[in-house]
A and B are shown apart, each in its own frame.
Chain A
Amino acid sequence: MSKAFIAGTGMTAFGTHPRRSGRDMFAEAGLAALEDAGLESEEIDEVFYGNFIGTVSENQGHQGPLVAEAVGTTAPARRVESACASSGLAIRDAVRAVRSGEADVVVAGGMERMSNMGTAGATDGLARAADDLFEVQSGVTFPAAYALMARAYFDTFGGDREDLAHVAVKNHDHALVNDHAHLQEEIAVDDVLDAPEIATPLGLYDACPISDGAAAIVLLSPSYAAERGLDTGVAITGSGHGGDTMALQDRRSLAKTPATREAANEAYTDAGIDPTDIGLVEVHDCFTIAEVLALEGLGMYGYGEALGAARRGETRRGGELPVNLSGGLKAKGHPVGATGAAQIAAVQTLLNGTHPRSDAVDDDVTVGLAHNAGGTVASASVHVLEVMA
């Protein structure tokens, strides 16, 4: 399968921007990605845009053409919605467009603005990523859904809140040098354990913040890149998408995420690699337990074995497999529709040496992975990125 080159990346600072419109934030990220790629808006063939709840939070549907306009084109554009996996899957669609030969230059990314909804409004909005009839009507909030999985995980494999706290501490530490991160704040295990509870066994510091922001990448076909002599340092060489039942109650196991496993296997096969080739990972850690579930789903660890990884230092900077060097969703922030694109931008810049945490990436690392999950992992996208020789 042909590659899709990442020619440029761009993102806004993630944080609380209640008075910035989505169109403005995506314009900032998309135009920065074009500038990074050395391309003009008129060269864009197609725009793929991830967004979860803009129809409600910004009173604006049909956002595809709106954000295409914002980056200076009336090229065909569509919005991709898959809850928190919206832009991971927008990028997957973009990769397929480039690989099929239908497009040479694609802008793909996403945006979310939620802080203007307030905490109650955002909590209500995020709950829409769960099954309305069988979960929301029974009091399940989004943190509650992950809490149900966390308790099921502890019951199945053992472990406790303190093990999870190390994930939060690690990701906060990673974000300290990332000026685009929502939270640049060092925390200790006790801070996590002492934080107010949201949904037991998860507390405030087990959760990512409610963030606003946008991220975008520019993808190129190999022929176009060669023709124009453009940077082809890093390419997406594998892409996968897995699915599962919407409601947790219909899953065979509440302590595993098979959609991640399916997406990963598809991406590994596509890229012709296996998990041992991968030297750095950005995974979907909307809650601390989510990072654990992701690493096991990806086959980086056996089931029940990833819980202690952060505590043992294996997934910290300087460890064998650095995970979420950007700070992850936990500290970098989680503007839902922008997250998948931001992860890919992070992996690309970590691999090419332009990320503020690139010094934590060993010189021999040439393969990275980005994992983006929707809902309680009823959707998952996985992308493999490789440095091109």
Chain B
Amino acid sequence: MTDAREDGYDAFLDALEAGEGYYYECSSGHGTLPPRRACPHCGDRELATATLPSTGEIVTFTLVTVPTPQFKDEAPYITAIATFGPIRLTGIVRGIDRENVEIGREVTVVIERDETTDERTITFRP
């Protein structure tokens, strides 16, 4: 658990929480997420802000039985990586029965709190 987060990351979570998610796009068209001053794929420093699509698609997921301390009260829980346009996000899946979580499933991204430490966490819901 991180006591002091990064300004850029907190601002990103604030925007997601307000339903105004964004990402960075470099001049070569690579998508990336804040905090970032350069594109990790090509080093470009011209990062324009673009609107994050509100719905995404699960590309992989796992049911975690042995959790990190931050999620100990929630285990077992599902963590997934989902594609939102040109970027991917990693988040906790809530509101979908476990057996219905599958690759290709459409999800929306919201910000919720974890049950153990009340920290904000990226969350995927139907």
B66 within 8 A of A: yes
Distance of B109 from chain A, by nearest CB (Å): 11
CB proximity to A under 8 Å, residues B47-74:
59-72, 74
CB proximity to A under 8 Å, residues B82-99:
87-92
CB proximity to B under 8 Å, residues A139-153:
139-141, 143-144, 147-149, 151-152
Q: Which residues of B contact A144 (CB under 8 A)?
A: 62, 64, 79
Q: Which residues of A contact B122 (CB under 8 A)?
A: 134, 137-138
For the complex, what is the distance from the CA of A198 to the CA of B66, rounded to whole Å? 6
For the complex, what is the distance from the CA of A138 to the CA of B121, rounded to whole Å? 6
B68 and A136 within 8 A (CB): yes
Q: Which residues of A contact B71 (CB under 8 A)?
A: 139
CB proximity to A under 8 Å, residues B5-63:
5-6, 9, 32-33, 35, 40, 59-63
A250 and B62 within 8 A (CB): no
User: What range describes how many residues of B lie at the interface?
Assistant: 35 or more
A124 and B32 within 8 A (CB): no
A249 within 8 A of B: yes
A132 and B65 within 8 A (CB): no
Given known A133-B5, A137-B121, A254-B81, contact A151–B90 (CB-CB < 8 A): no
A250 and B32 within 8 A (CB): yes
For the complex, what is the distance from the CA of A250 to the CA of B80, rounded to whole Å? 14
Chain A residue nearest in CB terms to B71: A139
Distance of A234 from chain B, by nearest CB (Å): 38
Distance of A138 from chain B, by nearest CB (Å): 4
Distance of A216 from chain B, by nearest CB (Å): 32
B100 within 8 A of A: no
Contact code string A199-215 (vs B, CB < 8 Å = 1, else 0): 11110000000000000
A135 within 8 A of B: yes
Given known A148-B62, A152-B60, A200-B62, contact A138–B79 (CB-CB < 8 A): yes
A141 and B67 within 8 A (CB): yes
A199 and B66 within 8 A (CB): yes
B60 and A148 within 8 A (CB): yes
Q: Which residues of B contact A245 (CB under 8 A)?
A: 40
- Extra 4 A-B pairs, beta carbons < 8 Å, given A132-B2, A137-B2, A137-B70: A134-B89, A140-B79, A141-B67, A152-B59
For the complex, what is the distance from the CA of A155 to the CA of B57, rounded to whole Å? 14
Q: Which residues of A contact B35 (CB under 8 A)?
A: 133
For the complex, what is the distance from the CA of A127 to the CA of B79, rounded to whole Å? 14
For the complex, what is the distance from the CA of A245 to the CA of B35, rounded to whole Å? 14
A248 within 8 A of B: yes
A124 and B68 within 8 A (CB): yes
Q: Which residues of A contact B67 (CB under 8 A)?
A: 123, 139, 141
A254 and B59 within 8 A (CB): yes
B79 and A151 within 8 A (CB): no
For the complex, what is the distance from the CA of A148 to the CA of B60, rounded to whole Å? 6
B66 and A248 within 8 A (CB): no
Chain A residue nearest in CB terms to B80: A148
Q: Which residues of A contact B66 (CB under 8 A)?
A: 119, 123, 141, 143, 198-199
Q: Which residues of A contact B9 (CB under 8 A)?
A: 133
Q: Which of B6, B33, B90 has the most CB of A within 10 A?
A: B90
B121 and A139 within 8 A (CB): yes
Given known A137-B119, A254-B60, contact A249–B88 (CB-CB < 8 A): yes
Distance of A262 from chain B, by nearest CB (Å): 15
For the complex, what is the distance from the CA of A254 to the CA of B9, rounded to whole Å? 23
B40 and A134 within 8 A (CB): no
